[in-house]
Each structure stands twice: as C-alpha cells, then as structure tokens.
Chains A and B, each alone.
Chain A
Amino acid sequence: MARRRSSSNVLNFLVMPVLGLVMLFPIAWMFVVSLKSEAETYRTPLTWIPHEPTFANYVSMWQALEFARYFQNTLIVAGVTTLLAILVAAPAGYAVSRFRFRGRDAFSGFLLASQMFPRVILIVPYFITMRMFGLVNTYTALILIYVAFAVPFCIWMLRGHFASVPVELDEAAMLDGCSPFQVFRRIVLPLILPGVVATAIFAFLVAWNEFLFALVLTTDRKMSVITVGLASLIGEYKTQWNELMAATIVGSIPAMLLYAVLERYLVRGLSSGATKG
C-alpha cells in the first residue's frame, strides 16, 4: 500500500506538473513576451520574468496592428458561417438518421471522405471562380468556402445527436397529425438543442482558425481575418514581437475558452466515432 501511495504522489506532484509546464511553456512564453516593453523584448540576455511588466501592448495592438479590424472581420465571417452551416446541416442530419433513402450510404461516405482529401486542390478553382465573380476581398467568398467545409462534419455530428432521440417519438407525433417538417422543427430539434449548440461552436472554431483560403482570397489588409492579419506582420520590415504576441493571445482566447467549455463533450464525441468500428 505504501508503495502505491508513493507512486501516486510521484504522479500527482511531480510527473503531471512537470509535463504540464513543458506543454504549456510555449503559450506561457508568448504571454511573457506580450508583457514586455519593446526595449526589453530585444535585450540580451533574455529576461524570463519581465522586469517592468506592462499591459501596454494589449492596448496598442488594437490600433497599431489594425487588430480591431481583423477581429471584426473574423467575427462576422465565423458567425455567418456557423448560422448557415447549421441551417443547411440540421435537416440533412435528421434525414440521414431517420429515413432510408437511395444514396444515403454514399452520401454518408462522402461526408467522411470530404474531411480527408487535401484541400489545396481547391485553392486554384476557388480563386479563379471568386475572381470571375468579383468576390476576392469579400466576406461572401470566405463564408461560402467555410460553409462548404463545415456542412459535412456538422451533418455527421448532428446525425449522431438525432439518432439519440427514439424514433417512436416521431411516429407518435405523426399519428397525432404532425407533418415530418413539424416533427423535425417542433419536436426533435428542440430536444437536441445542446448538441446543436456544440456543433455550431465547432463550425465557428473551424472558421475562426482557418488560414490558407483566407490568405489566398484576401489581398486587401482591410478584409484580413485574424490569422491572415497576424501572419502578414512577420514579413514586415519591423515586427514588434511583443505587440504581435499580445495580439496572438487575444486572437486565441475565444477558441481556448470555447474548447475548455466543450472539453467533456469533445471526449464523448470522439469516443463514439473512434471506438465503434
């Protein structure tokens, strides 16, 4: 018993804290740099704890890096994407979970496959099409593309939630005279609302973190999303890394918080997909 107690002490008080420190170090270091003044950022030897910590970067970045604009662009693109993706995916997820129809298996298979093919194959077609329609540097272009990416996995996730509601409920409602559309909208959809919200958050995060297509389809700084805006700063003549790190952290906070809230749900979602053959 004594041996077991000491091995759990090693686990709880040595192994986990040390590993935690190692894995969080890059984020912690970004935070340290973001608290430094410009002079201290570029002074050697480096200071591991800022001598004069300041939140000045967190104030200046909104203007100096045009971060306010990027934040707004990202919020609009990710928000509209989420709304449209759920609107399109929810009925489809319901149909796949409830009805047997011709092409259902092929459709489901395509949903999975679409998550795996290399997306760079789409950059040239998207770019050419968007240019033809004059959609380069518009929210519309990014929203269309992100909806395309989000719809398949939203259907896949929602299908699982719909399947958790017993079909008998639908049948009873139909006997009472509900049409299939009413059953879907009034009865089943409200029951899986938490699942819909979780799915929506994933769609939001995909759009929030995307980079490649935003890079290709925005040439005007004013239309940059956060990822593109920040990445474009490193090529600049004079990058202030302390300010850039502050902006990177602020840009990451929404996603960090949403994932932390969804964590429990994430394990469950992954396990249903990975443990069933």
Chain B
Amino acid sequence: MYRYRRYAYAFVLPAVLVIAGTLVYPMGQGVYLSFMRVGIDLATTFVGFANYVEVLRQPLFWGVIGHTAVFAVVSTVLTLAVGLGLALLLNRPDLRFRTFWRVLFLMPWTISHVAAGLGWKWIFDGLYGVANDLLLRIGLIEEPLMWLGTRDLAMACVIVANIWRSYPFVMLLLLAALQTIPQEQYEAAGVDGASGWQRFRFVTLPNIKFAIFVGSALDFIFNVRQFDLIFVMTRGGPRNSTEVLATLVNRQAFEYFDYGQASATAVLMLLMLVAATYVYRRLMQTPVESR
C-alpha cells in the first residue's frame, strides 16, 4: 500500500474540508468573539478581556459553576452505580431472556433528551403529576409538592431525570467489558474458595476498571454539557437554581443578546472541562495503568 500513500490525501480531503469549515473555524471564531463586543448589527469591537472580567465578576456565574458541578458530579456517580448494578445483573449466567432485558433497559437512552424532559416534567407536575399522586398514596408525603417550583427539589428532579436518561450508556459499556472477562478467572477464584464479594473485588473489578474510567469520564463530560433536559424541565429556574453553564450561555446569547459574554462563558466552560478531564485522568492514572 506504500506506493499509494499520496492517494490518502484525496480520500481524506472532503472530510478535512468539512471539519475545518464547520468545526475548527467556528471554534476559532468563538474564541475570537469572546474578546469582542458584538452589536445588534453584528459589528465587532475589540475589548480585550472585558467580557471575561464581566462574566467572572457576576455572582450568578459562580452560582452556575456550583449548580453545574452538583448536577454533573451527582449524576455521574449515581449513573455509574445504576449502570454497574444493571450490567452485573444482565451478565449473570442464570438470567433468562437476556436480549429482551437488554433491549428493555436500553429504552431510556433511545428517546431524545427533549422527550425525556417532557415526560419527567409532567411526572413532577405539582397539580397533575404522578410523583405526588404515588407518594401521597403510600403516605411518604402529606401535601403535594411543587417539585419543579422549589429550589432544591428542582435540582433533584433534573438529576433523577438525567440519571434515567443516561444510565443505559454506562450499562452497555460495562456490560461489554464484563463479557470479555475469561471464565477461567472465576473458576480459579472458585478453586481458591473466594466468596461472592471477593470474586467481584478481585476478578470482576480489575477487569472492568478501564471501562469504568472511560464510561464515567464520558458521562461526566455529557453531564457538564447538558442543556436539553434542563431547558425543557426548568429553563434554569426556579430563581436560577438549576441554571447550568450551557443554559447560561444560551441565555446570555439569546435573551440578553450579549454574544461577547456568551462566547467568553463558553470558552471558560471549555477550559474548565479540559482541566477537570486532566485532573480525573491523573487521579485514575495508577488504576488504569495497572489494569
């Protein structure tokens, strides 16, 4: 194939052009705009770091960082727990109708975030929601709650909906990893008289460590970027309590028409995500390398 190397460029050229024109260039434009003041007529003036200073000085921005962190961290941890639990169950040799269950548990992932958000919004409705109805019937609450209209509850609700929408991804990833574990390792552990927990701790876990790392890192990134679900369920409310970075950028751009500030916030978001991913990689370095 060596002789035909120069053909490679002809094969990749269309893709490179598309990616350069529709991803790389606009990204550069986004960074560029973060240093500009953009008028309603789209005329730009260079303002240095003024947009960044303005964004960083707003108390709301720091609140939004906090909401994003809570939303992303809690979602990622609980999604991993649910995904791992279901993957372990689906991998049990004595499970019947395996394909049926796998497809069934995959379903939440197949519907759009918008559809999931609409469904959960109605479930958590204060007057006609089934969440209140159920909890009243079994006596866990005495009065109907305004789920999405109460500050802390609203965050809990969007997290629940988000976990429900995202666990299948982690579940499938871990299930795929579980299926590659050689049966002999369990047999050897059985010969050594390992208990169920010990088999999980010393055979299963080391084998799926890398998948756990990849799955939760990707899930974390998806959670930090999450816009659709929150926008549909709460629009960032009540009183900004579920406002996250993605909804803030959208608000700055299309409610306040401050394209410069919106771009600055988006760039800050990118930097924070890169930093978080880097820290996470460092933290996971040892386990991943010793896998």
Contacts and interface: CB of A to CB of B under 8 A. Distances in A.
Interface residues of B, number: 97
B57 interface: no
A11 B214 contact: no
A167 B4 CA distance: 13
A92 B88 CA distance: 38
A27 B119 CA distance: 7
A125 B103 contact: no
A92 B14 contact: yes
B1 A99 contact: yes
A104 to B, nearest CB: 8
B42 A123 contact: no
Contact of A114 (B19, B33, B102, B215): B19
A164 to B, nearest CB: 16
B49 to A, nearest CB: 17
A5 to B, nearest CB: 9
Contact of B14 (A91, A98, A170, A230): A91
B115 A251 contact: yes
A200 interface: no
A74 to B, nearest CB: 10
B30 A151 contact: no
Q: How many A residues touch the partner, as a band?
A: 35 or more
Interface stretch (B185-193, B197-205, B243-251, B279-287): B243-251
A95 interface: yes
B121 A234 contact: yes
Nearest to B129: A46
Contacts of A245: 118-119, 122
A16 B111 CA distance: 22
B46 interface: no
B42 A19 contact: no
B39 to A, nearest CB: 11
A95 B116 CA distance: 39
A44 B22 CA distance: 51
B140 interface: no
Interface string B85-109: 0100100101110010111111111
A55 to B, nearest CB: 19
Interface stretch (A57-65, A191-199, A261-269): A261-269
Contacts of B179: 267, 271
A12 B119 contact: no
Contacts of A41: 128
Given A124-B263, A267-B175, 4 more contacts: A88-B14, A91-B15, A92-B11, A263-B106
18 contacts: A26-B123, A27-B111, A27-B119, A92-B16, A101-B9, A104-B8, A107-B12, A120-B250, A121-B27, A124-B263, A124-B266, A129-B26, A152-B19, A216-B250, A252-B110, A252-B111, A263-B106, A264-B99
